[in-house]
Amino acid sequence: MIVSSSARIAAGASALLLLCLLLPLLVLSSAASAAPSADRVAEGDARPGEPMPPRPAARVDPSYLHRPGTQVRLPPGVAEPPELSALSWLVADAATGDVLAAHDAHRRLPPASTLKALFALTVLPRLAQDARHTVREEELTGLGPGSSLVGVKEDVTYEVADLWRGVFLHSGNDAVRVLAGMNGGWQRTAREMEAVARSLGARDTKVVSPDGYDAPGQVSSAYDLAVFGREGLRDPDFARYCALPYATFPAGGWEYGIRSTNRLLTGEDGVRRYPGILGVKNGYTSKAGHTLIAAARRGGRTLVVSVMNPQSGGFRAVYEEARDLLDWGFGPGAKVRPVGSLLPPGPRALPRSAAPSPGASVGASASAGGAGRASNAASAASAGPSTAPSAGPSAGATQGAATAGTRPTAPRPAPEPTAAPGAGGPAPAAQPGAGQGRPPVQAGAAGTPPSPVLPVLLVGSACVAAGALWLSRRRAGAG
């Protein structure tokens, strides 16, 4: 009896000891899973793994940019934007899309070769840069008198990249003609350009001649041109071409040098190169005057400006007025409240049955200005009647497209998330740091379910203790 009592006491003590060790661990684990973390309390108890929606941004009345004259919202003591002679101009933050100031932003004017920025947005994603194409005589027909030419010749084989350098640097209308022919024809390309412009929220632009040559009814606006410049910088190929000051162009067995006609980029012809310039596109026709889209980066900020038809100062005026806008935007303009946005109107609210799943990215669903939308819009436009007559180098377009192949579109970062906009107006930009890019909660972090190991250990220990007690009683009975 003494032995059996000792065995029972030992078994009971062992079970009690195991319970005392494991029960606090289980309680602590359950409490940690039930208590919300500081981050979750601060952010409204979000579910793990979900990105937080951006905090509401101050709404901007889209009607500001439709008003005549200069529009700017100056805090006390902040300098006004410079007085310019241009008929229309705009300066905006390229990252957020905030319009810092503008003058007659939606006034419809001839764009000249700045329209080539929209041409590149439309056609660049469709043609492989290393594809080779032999130019035919009919592809160079239809060039307007006095067109700017880079020197494309028939029966010469060019890489697509050569033709794009001719477009961006030398504003070659002949290179545009060939690329448009490879894209399916002159009129088809014009329709696709308009579709891309609409998808980006640029509704002032009417395309008649994709190279920007003066044509009846062809117009754009400072607002639309700034939209094209901002969107172009998001495409690595566009950004690379528009920043080139110098290049070479093939001439069938030899090549010659070409330079950009954007003097802010080259620092030539009496115009100083702008520090941090990223390029984009300039233009001139007798009807449009001088036009320019320019972008520059300084101190971690990127600005885009558009200037249309300065009324004094000669050909240098468009560059000097763009310089003044950039200087103001990097200086006093950093403190103003926006008067509009370059971002397109946000998507309409989805019905409950079509709402995205909780784990879907809020930023991705809120942004409507990405490359995918523009590409889809162009594809939709190109799906029109194939029997429509096409001007320019439509002959042989099928062969050209087959030769060019398809350039895989590089992934672009999604536009900055925006607060839900009102109907019909540009979406206001989200405030910096408003939950953008918040990493999902990692496994094992606060707020994740407790590990099943502790309950298993607890149950197993209890079983072992019960078994030991049963065994000790059996031995005592046998004794």
Q: Which amino acids are annotated catalytic?
A: 113, 116, 171
Total number of residues shown for the chain: 479
Q: How far apart are the C-alpha atoms of 371 and 413, rounded to whole Å?
A: 9
Q: Which of 411, 402, 370, 409 is nearest to 183 (CA)?
A: 402
Q: How far apart are the C-alpha atoms of 445 and 292, rounded to whole Å?
A: 52
Which amino acid would we find at residue 237? D
Q: How far apart are the C-alpha atoms of 116 and 176, rounded to whole Å?
A: 8
Q: How far apart are the C-alpha atoms of 214 and 447, rounded to whole Å?
A: 63
Cβ 166 vs Cβ 152: under 8 Å: yes
Rounded to 10°, the helix 371-382/186-199 angle is: 140
How distant is the alpha carbon of residue 462 from its chain centre? 60
Cβ 291 vs Cβ 114: under 8 Å: yes
Alpha helices in 131-267 (DSSP H): 160-168, 173-182, 186-199, 222-233, 236-242, 263-266
Q: Which of 10, 2, 26 is nearest to 469 (CA)?
A: 10
Residue with tokens 């880079």: 150
How distant is the alpha carbon of residue 25 from its chain centre? 49
Q: Which of 34, 36, 31, 29 is nearest to 450 (CA)?
A: 29
Q: How far apart are the C-alpha atoms of 390 and 239, rounded to whole Å?
A: 30
